[in-house]
Amino acid sequence: QVQLVESGGGLVQAGGSLRLACAASGRTFSSSVMGWFRQAPGKEREFVASTSWIGASTIYGDSVKGRFTMFRDNAKNTVYLQMNSLKPEDTAVYSCAARRRYSGSVSSFAHAYDYWGQGTQVTVSS
């Protein structure tokens, strides 16, 4: 079982930056593909980023490419999402997710992930 706890959300002005963190429990973290998703009120869940076991492969959703960077620190069992040049449309609840150990590769599909955190609110004001 993997437990995920996000932190780092908050209120920021457009053009600003935030760094989200997702701390994972359990020994399986270093061998699990991790992902970030977001969901705004009244909208469907949206893929943000996914990174492989050692971070060698990372993919991003089209709306965040060039602005967001996902990286992981396996020694700290933590994955991060650095968000720069934030826009009001980035406002959402951001959740991290994990695939089961040694289970597949990076994925933009929410159903590919087995464990989810509670989420952290990010609000970008104009």
Q: Which amino acid is at 112?
A: A
pLDDT confidence tier of residue 74, bands split at 50, 70 and 90: confident
pLDDT reading at 89 higher than 80: yes
What average pLDDT does the chain have? 94
pLDDT beyond 80 at 107: yes
Percentage helix, strand, coil for the chain under 3-state DSSP, each rounded to 5: 10, 45, 45
**pLDDT surpasses 90 at 81:** yes
Output the pLDDT for position 51.
95
Write out pLDDT tens, residues 6-63: 999 999 999 999 999 999 987 677 788 999 999 999 999 999 999 998 878 999 999 9
Q: What is the pLDDT of residue 87?
A: 98
Residue 98, pLDDT above cutoff 90? yes
